[in-house]
Amino acid sequence: MSVVSAQRRPSSGFRISKRVLPYVLSLPALLVCIGILIPFLTAAWYSLHRYRLSQPWGYKFIWFDNYLNFFTDPKFWNTLKISLTYAGVTVVLELVLGLAIALLLQKRSTVNNFISIMLLLPLMTAPALAALMWKLMTNPGFGILSYLASLIGLQDFRWASSPSTALLTVVLVDVWVYTPFIMILLLAGLRSLPTQPFEAAALDGVPRSFVFFRITLPMLMPYILTATLFRLLDSIQQFDIIYAMTQGGPGDTLTVFQVEAYLNFFQSTNVGRSAALMIILWAITYLLSNIFIKHWLRLRERARGHG
């Protein structure tokens, strides 16, 4: 009798070769994504054209004029400035707040676990809907926050409808939604830290500020960096909260990249400029995500080295 019985081995045509199998498995997913890649290239192509939907006869290849025009375009500089400000302010606030909350909740207890679960709720709220909730709360007529502001002497505090406080308002919503994200990551990080260094420090009576800055923070760094980059990439592309809250207004106070591109496309129907804006945003995120991926690979390496 043969060990490798003939009847158990199917005809050779039926079998998928070991070498082809992984490609077969990942092909459908790849195809779907490649379908998405085409518009990406189109966008790059459009960005080199004068292209307005309302003036199709003006369609013309103009090299990098859309980009060069940005240099003398105050609206573009405003967009760049407001996008970076928004990303910077939200990420810093969320990081500080998220770290503080994670430290408060570090110890495992029923109350702490309950609170950390509750904090999931803002994160799971659609950002656009969160903006609407805050819009209702900051309504000058009946908004509870407008009322509270008036109680502390801020009469007629206009929140998102005033250019001076619009940024503050959307940042507040962003902080409300996304601080829990950073909190969750950092809490997971804090709870996974080895306990020995802390016990040793406590036994030796090392001051707690020293423990925090010299032990906790450095050990938590990988988590902090990951959370920061994740948030930075999202925040610089923020659209939902700002659009739902103010449509980029009042005036052009909050015309961050994606909002500006959206308005350019659908209101001014200026496809060329809109595409150029998006390509610039993409370049920024590509740069950031490359930093992230390099960093992530290093993290993984380190994790594997320990394992």
Partner 1 sequence: MEHSSPIERVLRAVALTLVVLFFMFPIFWIVLMSFQTNETILRIPPSVVFEPTLSNYKALLSGRLETAAGTLELNFLRTLWNSIFLSVTSVAVSLLLGVPAAYAFARHKFRGSEDIAFTLLSFRFAPPLLVLLPLTIYFQQIGLANTYIGLIWVYQLICLPLILWIVRGYFEDISADIEYAYRIGGHSWFATFRKIALPLAGPGIAAAGLLAFIFAWNNFVFALVLASADKQPVTVGALAFVTASGIQYGQIAAAIVLSITPTLALALYAQRYLVEGLSLGAVKG
Partner 2 sequence: MASLELQGIVKRYKGQAVLDDVSLTVGDGETVVLFGPSGSGKSVLLRLIAGVVDPDAGRILIGGEDVTEVDAEFRGVGMAFQNFALFPHMSAFDNIATPLEARKARPDAIRAGVESVARLLKIGHVLSHKPRALSNGQKQRTALARALAGEPPLLLLDDPLRNVDAKLRFEMRLELPRLLATRGATVVYVTQDYKEAMALGDRIAVMAQGGIRQLGTPEQIYLEPASIEIARLFGDPTINLLDVKPSRDARGIFVGLSNVQVRLDGASEQAVGRDCVIGLRPEALSFVGPDTAGAIPVTVEAETPLNEKVVTLVRTVRGREILVSRPAGTPGPAQSAAHLAVNAKSALLFDRATGSRIGSGRRREVAA
Instruction: Single out the segment in contact with partner 1 by CB under 8 A; choices: 34-42, 69-77, 86-94, 156-164.
Output: 34-42
Name the β-bridge partners of 60: 50
Closest CA to 70 of 61, 81, 84, 57: 81
Longest Cα–Cα distance of the chain, Å, equals: 96
| Residue 80 in contact with partner 1, rule: CB under 8 A | no
- What's the closest the beta carbon of residue 197 comes to partner 2, in angstroms? 31
Rg (CA), the chain: 26
Residue 104 interaction partner, one of partner 2, partner 1, none, beta carbon < 5-8 Å per kind: partner 1
- What's the closest the beta carbon of residue 249 comes to partner 1, in angstroms? 13
| CA angle (188, 189, 192) in 5-degree steps | 85
Q: Are 137 and 143 in contact (CB under 8 A)?
A: yes
| Residue 200 in contact with partner 1, rule: CB under 8 A | no
Nearer to partner 2, 2 or 72 (CB): 2
Q: Are 168 and 90 in contact (CB under 8 A)?
A: no
Which of 13, 14, 15, 83 is the binder for partner 2 (CB under 8 A)?
15
| Residue 181 in contact with partner 1, rule: CB under 8 A | yes
Residue 3 interaction partner, one of partner 2, partner 1, none, beta carbon < 5-8 Å per kind: partner 2
Residue 4 interaction partner, one of partner 1, partner 2, none, beta carbon < 5-8 Å per kind: partner 2
| Residue 18 in contact with partner 2, rule: CB under 8 A | yes
Please give the residue ranges that form the binding site for partner 2 (CB under 8 A): 2-5, 8-9, 15, 18
